[in-house]
Amino acid sequence: MNTEFLRGICVGAVAGVAAELLMMNCDKCAKTRAGNTMRAMGNAVDDVVDNISHTFH
């Protein structure tokens, strides 16, 4: 499986979640939620990429 493809899918998902959260009414709440969500998604993407790279080595 192509890791570049998976990385692109995950980055797109993170960007979509961040955009949705930033469009909420409460600006400060949205920024905090977006930051937390992006951090959590980033950690998840790192874990997935690490697992995939260890599988193919």
Pair of tokens at residue 44:
């998840």
- Per-residue pLDDT band for 24 (boundaries 50, 70, 90) equals low
Mean pLDDT value of segment 28-56: 78
Mean pLDDT value of segment 49-55: 81
Q: Give the whole-angstrom CA distance, residue 7 versus residue 1.
A: 11
At residue 10, the pLDDT reads 80
Pair of tokens at residue 32:
């905090």
User: pLDDT tens for residues 8-20?
Assistant: 888 888 887 777 7
Q: What is the pTM of this model?
A: 0.46
- 19 Cβ partners below 8 Å, 6+ apart? none
What residue ranges do the domains of the chain occupy?
A: 3-56
